[in-house]
Chain A
């Protein structure tokens, strides 16, 4: 298999669909018995016709509210789950059918679950993985040294995994996922529950892996700061369907982008109106402008118009919190004129 050129699709999901069939127990005294004979079947479509691709060397964030189908999508991309319909290609392989070969191409970190052995010192866990991946000893020592330098593992890798703090453990899991130098890494909420210092360390590490090492990273997260600081591209799923595949700005444009520009006018004349903007508030020389009713200009446009129109001595810009934007997105509250 030839290595992918940067930008060329390396992970492709085509019309991915996953339907779960569950049997539920009937309630009541005879529920258990009647369930054995005639179980209640229910089917749940967790993922419905999702298609997107990730290019080599890209860092993509997979977003969506709980139950949106993110985890199910990741599990199908990693080959753990078999899609009901559609296909997945990872580095040229079908991850489900070629599980063991695919395993050499991918690394995975699942934030709340460790793949390390609790009773062993972390370093020994990594050694076991070295043997599972059949990594040459010399190459292993080199990689370990490099990962130690980036993640500062030697400070605690002699401790048993069950005694590690969350931050230490996830750093070990990151090392474990990258030990065999996979071109593609999947991360499912890797920084959940961490303090801000460790979170930034992890993000710095991921950035390094993508920009210096050319790895492809697909990451799910609920942390909007993470998305803002890391992701070049964002894929938003909700109710099992693809909603947005683009940049953060695309999302802002569709779901939020509400902002306010509060200016202090040097010359508070009677007429402060600016084309296309709405006056939200006025308090003496301080005027707050918001988006107009039609043809919402972007924040940059609005600033330009205000400055062209008035002389100002002070400006405060309030942009919709990314979390607010995402909340709108999760609640399907699109802005009216941006429906594609």
Chain B
């Protein structure tokens, strides 16, 4: 057993270990008895309602806002799953920035050989990966049941790329909110309001195509529609081929822009911790 005065030699003995840290939030879900089952039930009920609701709305109509019945139902189902699974459950771990600021445990992020930024990123990878598992399972269950439509095979890779970009925008947006906590302008109510604003403007409550023109114009100027509306619209085939490139470019633009903004914000935040205290 080594003595305590032996110093580490800095050589990385397990280079991929940091990636494994990303399991921290989903692990709590999986290890908690019954929580996965509860979530499956919740998603099943929400999907069930979406399907029944949209089919009932479409009785007597074949197309509305450019969406036929199958497209609308599929959009609603995919949107519901994404909204139900994407938001971080790290508050159950006491791991949100807001909680850590309130309880003073934020200082531990600065006492580890893994930068706070890297930890946050790796954890986000784990959470979003877990959400995609739920999405994949839902699609695989609903497709053979005829509940949702099959995607155009040519569009499938485009959808996957767009979904990854959408997840990246989603991650960056939540990071902005979390970083604002370092300046203590956040509290629980503000977080909830942001949740609903994001869901509304991304098409999580109803496909954005149904909203009036002025609303769609506003949402195009904001990053939220890139997180859900773009990838799901590609899946259901609502986005005309001519617009796909533009939409993807817009997604990339938001990813890069937000990433740069967050880099700057992280630096300011870290400096704030070291100057003002945890």
Contacts and interface: CB of A to CB of B under 8 A. Distances in A.
A51 interface: no
Contact of B111 (A106, A124, A146, A162): A106
Contact of A105 (B7, B13, B18, B110): B7
Given A80-B107, A101-B113, A117 B28 contact: yes
Nearest to B28: A119
A4 interface: yes
Interface in B1-25: 1-8, 10, 12-15, 17-18, 20-21, 23-24
Interface in A105-143: 105-106, 108, 110, 112-115, 117-121, 124, 128, 130-136, 142
Nearest to A119: B28
Nearest to A186: B111
B17 A214 contact: no
A6 to B, nearest CB: 8
Given A104-B8, A117-B93, A214-B4, A79 B27 contact: no
Interface string B107-144: 11011111100010000000000000000000000000
Given A80-B274, A120-B31, A136 B14 contact: yes
A155 interface: no
A72 B14 CA distance: 34
A119 B93 contact: yes
A134 B7 contact: no
Q: Output the residue of B94, B108, B113 with the most chain A CB within 10 A.
A: B113
B28 A120 contact: yes
Nearest to B11: A134
Interface in A81-115: 81-82, 91, 96, 99-101, 103-106, 108, 110, 112-115
B2 A132 contact: no
A213 B3 contact: yes
A91 B6 CA distance: 11
B188 interface: no
A276 interface: no
A107 B93 CA distance: 21
Given A82-B274, A100-B114, A120-B93, A134 B3 contact: no
A52 interface: no
Contact of A103 (B12, B18, B95, B113): B113
A171 B42 CA distance: 37
A150 B14 CA distance: 27
A43 interface: no
Contact of A214 (B3, B21, B24): B3
A32 to B, nearest CB: 13
Contacts of A101: 10, 113
A223 B6 CA distance: 31
Given A20-B276, A75-B277, A132-B114, A214 B27 contact: no
Contacts of A132: 17-18, 21, 112-114, 119
A3 interface: yes
27 contacts: A3-B6, A20-B276, A56-B5, A72-B277, A75-B278, A91-B7, A100-B114, A104-B8, A104-B10, A113-B103, A117-B24, A118-B92, A119-B32, A119-B93, A120-B28, A132-B17, A132-B112, A132-B113, A132-B119, A134-B15, A134-B17, A136-B13, A146-B1, A162-B94, A180-B8, A181-B2, A181-B4
Interface of B: 1-8, 10, 12-15, 17-18, 20-21, 23-24, 27-28, 31-32, 92-95, 103-105, 107-108, 110-115, 119, 273-278
Given A57-B5, A119-B93, 18 more contacts: A4-B5, A80-B107, A80-B274, A81-B275, A104-B8, A108-B108, A108-B111, A112-B104, A114-B94, A114-B105, A117-B93, A124-B27, A128-B21, A128-B24, A132-B21, A132-B114, A181-B6, A182-B4
**Closest 7 pairs (CB-CB, A-B):** A119-B28, A3-B5, A215-B4, A117-B93, A115-B108, A131-B17, A119-B92
